[in-house]
Chain A
Amino acid sequence: MTHRFSICCFLLVVCAFFACDKNSDGPMAPVEAFDREALLTDWADEMIVPSLEAYLTSMGNHHDAQVLFFNSPDATSLGHLRSTWLEAYKSWQRVAMYDIGRAEEMGLRNATNIYPTDTDLIKQNVSTQNYKLALPSNNDAQGFPALDFLYFGLADTDEDLIGILSSPEYQSYSMDLVDRMQLLTTGVLNDWNTSFRDDFIANSGASATASVDKMVNDFLFYYEKFLRAGKIGIPAGVFSGSPLGSTVEAPFSGVHSKELFLASFQAVQDFFEGVGFDGVRREVSLLSYIASTSGQDDTRDLGQEITAQWSKAEEAVSLLSDNFKAQVETDNTLMLNAYDELQKAIILLKVDMMQTLNIQVDYVDADGD
């Protein structure tokens, strides 16, 4: 009789234990588990989808500018063409790092911003009029870098450029490029607006294929490869021994590399700090996630260290000229300084942050021991 009674008591206690609301304020629950679902919801609804929508709108504007230009090519319409191109390019910088889902499948980034662009391939495509933009071999003959060449690099003077660009072959090529970018982006946005958003948020676990893990990996990859190396490191010659001015972003237009960099850098920081597209800072973010983990206490604030390092990087970048190509050719040390400051943040992100969040880099799916 007493035996059964004590077993029942024990089971009751165990059940009560598991039934405890994890958000209770009792002495047994000092640490709350981080809400990954809330984080994913914010990412999807406040950052990714609005940025995609804004980008698609800006591409629409650019398409209209193209139509206007090709109907009546002159200096004014060229100016309008170029300014809408720049606005769309800057809008793209807020979308570039979300290489997940449909965007990843369709290779959106590869079709939009691979540089340096291959000017010979562009000219060849235009003259033969025989090209399939969907082939990976054409990645460096399309996207914004190709448009950069077409709108700024086809000739030395604007007059000559208008003459060449408005020819039927160049017209069809440039409109094809923009059409393709719009088509792909529409596909990505539709996917988000139908099933992918819910799948993305539902996949709120912790594993190599979970949304948070993938997104963080994508974020790091973007920061390291595209922001740090692509926009600053490679042009500064960090990986080649001597500067390579032609590898900057938007080299033909000359003066926009810094603007594009800053737009991208701002997007990176906003993502990390939970600032939505509307400029409002959210409660859940990578920053708050880091703060909630066990390693962070009174002695260390990793999130703050990261944002402080980024401020230093911004300072170093502010010293650069608007024209990165000219910068590396005249005074490369400033470029290298900017690279170093961006690099310091990588350690904090790839080592400290990944460790405290217990996220593995790059889908290493072999056994551990």
Chain B
Amino acid sequence: MRFWYHGWIEKLYILPTFHFKYLGFGWVTIPGDWTYALFVVCALSALCVALGLQYRLAIITFFLSFTYIELLDKTTYLNHYYFISVLSFVLIWLPMHCYFSLDAQQSKKISARYVPQWTVDVLKVLIAIVYIYAGLAKINSDWLLRAMPLSIWLPTKFDVPFLGSLMHEPWMHYLFSWGGMLYDLGIVFLLLFKRTRLWGFALVVLFHLMTRVLFPIGMFPYVMIISSLIFFEPSFHRTILEKFRALFLSNNRPEENNTLYSFTTPLQKMARPMITILIILQIIIPWRYLIYPGNIFWTEEGYRFSWRVMLMEKTGYAQFKIVDGKSEKSFYVQNENFLTAFQQKQMSTQPDFILEYAHYLGDHFSSQGHQNVEVYVDSYAAINGRPSQRFVDPAVNLMTVHRGIAHKDFILPLDE
């Protein structure tokens, strides 16, 4: 809904003539104006999930439509969208609809009062993975020793009430950096134990509201605040639901099944193994950057899908040169003829984007009649306040480099 309101559906998905695709998902296409329909489907299925109406169908639809939207363009990748995709996949297998839902009201078969402990624990594990990996990612010299990138971001937040006048002070930058790291690593433990749970939740609210005020991160803070409620015990949730029922619904409770939900059908029994596999993947995937040489902030190989949230300030500039191998004529490309401002911003700092765009340009100009097209890029990037440096080797003809998961050796090493 936010996307519609801000006009982002048109700006991000319909207007651009070219979209960056995830590896293996090149077949995903923008359905033009039907993209609006896609968003409607997504919103409706989310509503059904919330109401607990036709839950299984709704959550599957939501997962597919939401993930499809995210697959449309790599440019809009955000960690919290990835989180929603993962979460909604897990929810497909969980019995979310057996209590306080329209489905349970209608069907005694579905209704149950109890669910196996592991179904709740699984969600806690997912959240723990996000926080702990985010915290681990913050253990790096830029974040802790140089207070970067907060030293760049905070000084322009002078309008924030109470704290605004302190935002240019270096000690504030260190306070926020270390505080953020410690919060990420420790918050799950505070939430797990009853004695510290309320303090933990207060911290959750404080932390996420502050980040909401400081940074343009959309729904992320609210998603995290609400999902941290999963750590509270069942009686807490039951109390909330009862209050809700008393306030908004008529007070006649449907006859409740005092049973434990059980996974009976073969498909339902696949829940545990599927979720186990997913959790194993979630734990392993963030470590894949170790396979690649070079500084992960610079090469960005293995950067996505690993909860590296708001971790660096990277700015780049990329000018592409097209050489007609036959006539030896060359010219530079004006990127705004092909990419939106947002795409240019993402492209200039991420080598996989640069490579994909280079191929796109090469194919485009070949189709225009140029022969033996070679594509070179004059590209620079600056990271966390360091001086700008050459990013990609200008002598490499990017048309000869293939897209894939192999290391990109056309990236020049970072001069730290």
Contact = CB atoms under 8 A, between A and B. Distances in A.
Contacts of A293: 152, 155
A206 B156 contact: yes
A355 B151 contact: no
A255 interface: no
27 contacts: A18-B165, A28-B169, A206-B158, A237-B331, A240-B331, A241-B331, A293-B152, A294-B151, A294-B173, A295-B151, A295-B385, A348-B388, A350-B317, A351-B380, A351-B381, A352-B315, A355-B152, A359-B156, A360-B345, A361-B345, A362-B345, A364-B341, A364-B345, A365-B216, A366-B11, A368-B215, A369-B80
B202 to A, nearest CB: 17
Contacts of A366: 8, 11-12, 76, 342
B157 interface: yes
A294 B155 contact: yes
Interface string B123-163: 00000000000000000000000000001110111110010
Interface residues of B, number: 54
B220 interface: yes
B137 to A, nearest CB: 13
Interface of B: 6, 8, 11-12, 76, 78-81, 151-153, 155-159, 162, 165, 167-170, 173, 215-220, 309-310, 313, 315-317, 319, 324, 329-334, 341-342, 344-345, 380-382, 385, 387-388
A356 interface: yes
A29 interface: yes
A356 B385 contact: yes
Given A206-B158, A358-B155, A351 B316 contact: yes
Given A351-B382, A351-B388, A366-B76, A239 B334 contact: yes
Given A32-B168, A33-B158, A367-B218, A346 B331 contact: no
What are the 3 tightest A-B residue pairs by CB atom distance, in nearest-first order? A367-B218, A206-B156, A369-B78
Interface of A: 18, 22, 28-34, 205-206, 229, 233, 237-242, 293-295, 300, 302, 343, 346-348, 350-352, 354-369
B168 A31 contact: yes
B388 A352 contact: yes
Nearest to B150: A294
Question: Which of B78, B169, B218, B309 has most chain A Cβ within 10 Å?
Answer: B169
A346 B316 CA distance: 11
Contact of B167 (A18, A33, A295): A33
Nearest to B310: A369
Nearest to B323: A241
Secondary structure at the B interface, as helix, strand, loop or mixed, is: mixed
A369 B162 contact: no
B217 A368 contact: yes
A237 B158 CA distance: 45
Contact of B315 (A18, A28, A354): A354
Contacts of B220: 367, 369
Contact of A31 (B152, B153, B169, B324): B169
Given A358-B156, A366-B12, A368-B216, A33 B165 contact: yes
A169 B362 CA distance: 49
A237 B331 CA distance: 7
Contact of A294 (B158, B170, B315, B341): B170
B169 A238 contact: no
Contact of B152 (A22, A28, A294, A350): A294
A334 to B, nearest CB: 18
A324 B253 CA distance: 85
Given A239-B332, A352-B388, 14 more contacts: A30-B169, A31-B169, A33-B167, A237-B331, A238-B332, A239-B331, A240-B331, A293-B152, A294-B385, A295-B151, A346-B317, A355-B313, A358-B156, A369-B310
Nearest to B81: A369
Contacts of B218: 367, 369
Question: Which of B11, B159, B387 has most chain A Cβ within 10 Å?
Answer: B387
B7 to A, nearest CB: 10
Contacts of A229: 334
A42 B9 CA distance: 40
A18 B381 CA distance: 38
A229 B11 CA distance: 27
Contacts of B76: 366
A40 to B, nearest CB: 14
A358 B387 contact: no
